[in-house]
Chains A and B, each alone.
Chain A
């Protein structure tokens, strides 16, 4: 059974791209536009990895990460953002990985494989 990946990003095109690309890699992807939507659907063991954008209008990626940690402690969390500067933010240290958004998705895919033990 394929690992499930949770994507939380307010940009519809990003969600579509990730759903398509990560799906091609063999993962099942559930993509949500906000943290609150995602939290409604997530169960403790439902997803192996969450890819969370940081700059979102309703709830920041950091808040989403904290809530996901409470809801699903075993879920690996990748902060994925256009802002390289957040890497220096101490809140980012709580994430399992920090990947800057890029048209080259290889770094993200490599990181997911590492975290899911499928590399």
Chain B
């Protein structure tokens, strides 16, 4: 006994709309039914109702798997735990039994549990065919059951893909494979809502009887199952398929015109044109173009929305197309339509997800920026408040020190008063720079050349140092080094660095400053140079600059460092190969830091 397993998942059910599909199954005298995880029958179509005798008084009271099994002796209840646990499928063929009315039946029952990803409890979906009820007896009943299996296989293949072209090819393979519905050729048209027209998209099948003979012989020798065909182990004939596809793609059919094809699409009702003798010119023209007269037309509809149209014929074998053939094709088309819509929705969701991801990334960057700005704002406010509060007492302390110096103090008093006056003056300078920093932090950011900034900051030092000689030589990169940020704020940071180097570190050495690229960062590097015997002293001074014991220089360095870090850069000290220290500022090049805009 062959085993045509009906493999159904919840997604399959989504792609088999119950109202439409159940009606088609009823037409085919195929029963469909569903048990919940407790083994209670929760839905069924009319054929299943008739086969199982669900209108009977006892059955109406007790619609459980146990009750049904007691009637049919199918063995379903016995294996229920394994089946509902997803460990096995259920297939029973040639089950001879009687229903509650005493009618003799020969049943084929297949089914399996639906794996449920959404967290709700699993369900068992089954299909049943009574061979005795099928016209023509057991053989046709068996065919119906086999075709049901085909539909299930195609449904599985459809649910495993979200790629539109793969879905379309699966549909046509299911329609044309001899292991499937067995049509010779199938053509798929996609609906374009903007133009209200059908556009030929893809075709499957041989283009001639000779080619068909070769292909079918070849496929027969490989003995592939439908599942293998659908998985693409062996595609349909490429050459003929390509020719047919090329042919069909040239065809566009307006649904505004009155034609049988338009009627099928608008009414969402399939048509078996083999049984229609009079056809309009448009439909006749299409059939002539395809070289056929015997064609099935099935609309692809999902939730009332037309997705496309499948045409199928038996041009090569001239096998008559029955209404049951078309109904089967319609069930396939229904599943395909839902799969297509799902694929489109998936693409839309994917696009939205990518947009959301991008938006989230921007949001994250914005949040980080806001945090930085808030932080800088708080620092700025604090700096400003502290600086102003310190200004008055410093003025008084330094002012009185200066006054006392004018009163001819003793030598030792003069020395101490001078220290007080000088240190006060220096602290006032720091406060001035802090206040300027706060003011500058409120200014806008732009793209600018680090070369210009390095030059301007160095020029500012002129005349502001205690010594006439600057001692710092600047060498700028030959090309502009574009960076992004608050130019004045960064100029102050560079100025502070120059100032500290000139006042605190230089004597008795000098410094060479240069601008250059460090990867995707522009850099200002200040290399300190001194005689070999002064190197240790210079390094000690450098350490002291960052030391807590020197609050004035440390505060200045901290502000400079924070400014540079705020701009996405770095500030630090490194040693060259000859052991001399270098101070550096690195800032991201302008196109690296656009989010600061």
Interface residues of A (CB under 8 A from B): 11, 13-14, 16-17, 20-21, 24, 55, 82-85, 100-105
Interface residues of B (CB under 8 A from A): 387-388, 391-403, 406, 421, 424-425, 428, 432, 435-436, 439
Inter-chain contact B392/A104, CB cutoff 8 Å: no
- Give the residues in chain B near A13, CB-CB below 8 Å: 392-393, 396
Inter-chain contact B439/A85, CB cutoff 8 Å: yes
Query: Can you add 16 more A-B contacts, CB < 8 Å, to A17-B403, A55-B388, A103-B401?
Result: A13-B392, A13-B393, A13-B396, A14-B395, A17-B400, A21-B403, A24-B403, A83-B388, A101-B391, A102-B398, A102-B428, A103-B394, A103-B398, A103-B421, A103-B428, A105-B402
- Give the residues in chain B near A85, CB-CB below 8 Å: 435, 439
Max chain A CB contacts within 10 Å: which of B392, B393, B402? B392
Give the complex CA separation of A25 and B432 in angstroms. Answer: 27
- Give the residues in chain B near A101, CB-CB below 8 Å: 391-392, 395
Inter-chain contact A105/B432, CB cutoff 8 Å: no
- Give the residues in chain B near A103, CB-CB below 8 Å: 394-399, 401-402, 421, 424-425, 428
Max chain A CB contacts within 10 Å: which of B399, B428, B439? B399
Give the complex CA separation of A3 and B555 in angstroms. Answer: 43
Give the complex CA separation of A52 and B398 in angstroms. Answer: 20
Give the complex CA separation of A21 and B424 in angstroms. Answer: 17
Tell me the smallest distance from the CB of B458 to a CB of chain A, in Å. 23
Give the complex CA separation of A84 and B406 in angstroms. Answer: 28
Partner of A82, one of B388, B399, B400: B388
| Chain B residue, CB-CB nearest to A16 | B396
Give the complex CA separation of A13 and B406 in angstroms. Answer: 19
Tell me the smallest distance from the CB of B560 to a CB of chain A, in Å. 19
Give the complex CA separation of A104 and B401 in angstroms. Answer: 10
| Chain A residue, CB-CB nearest to B431 | A82
Give the complex CA separation of A11 and B390 in angstroms. Answer: 12
| Chain A residue, CB-CB nearest to B398 | A103
- Give the residues in chain A near B402, CB-CB below 8 Å: 21, 103-105
Max chain A CB contacts within 10 Å: which of B387, B400, B401, B424? B400
- Give the residues in chain B near A83, CB-CB below 8 Å: 388, 435
Give the complex CA separation of A17 and B392 in angstroms. Answer: 11
Inter-chain contact A104/B432, CB cutoff 8 Å: no
Inter-chain contact A104/B403, CB cutoff 8 Å: no
With A24-B403, A103-B402 already in contact, the answer to whether A17 and B435 are too (CB < 8 A) is no
Inter-chain contact A82/B391, CB cutoff 8 Å: yes
With A20-B403, A21-B399 already in contact, the answer to whether A104 and B425 are too (CB < 8 A) is yes
- Give the residues in chain B near A102, CB-CB below 8 Å: 395, 398, 425, 428
Tell me the smallest distance from the CB of A42 to a CB of chain B, in Å. 24
Give the complex CA separation of A83 and B392 in angstroms. Answer: 10
Tell me the smallest distance from the CB of A49 to a CB of chain B, in Å. 18
Give the complex CA separation of A105 and B399 in angstroms. Answer: 7
Give 7 pairs: A residue, B residue, CB < 8 Å, sorted on A.
A13-B396, A17-B396, A17-B399, A17-B400, A100-B432, A103-B425, A104-B398
Tell me the smallest distance from the CB of A110 to a CB of chain B, in Å. 14
- Give the residues in chain B near A20, CB-CB below 8 Å: 400, 403
| Chain A residue, CB-CB nearest to B435 | A84
| Chain B residue, CB-CB nearest to A106 | B402
Partner of B432, one of A11, A16, A55, A84: A84
- Give the residues in chain A near B398, CB-CB below 8 Å: 102-104
| Chain B residue, CB-CB nearest to A104 | B425
Give the complex CA separation of A82 and B392 in angstroms. Answer: 7
| Chain B residue, CB-CB nearest to A101 | B395
Inter-chain contact A24/B392, CB cutoff 8 Å: no
Give the complex CA separation of A13 and B403 in angstroms. Answer: 13
Max chain B CB contacts within 10 Å: which of A17, A20, A103, A105? A103
Give the complex CA separation of A100 and B436 in angstroms. Answer: 13
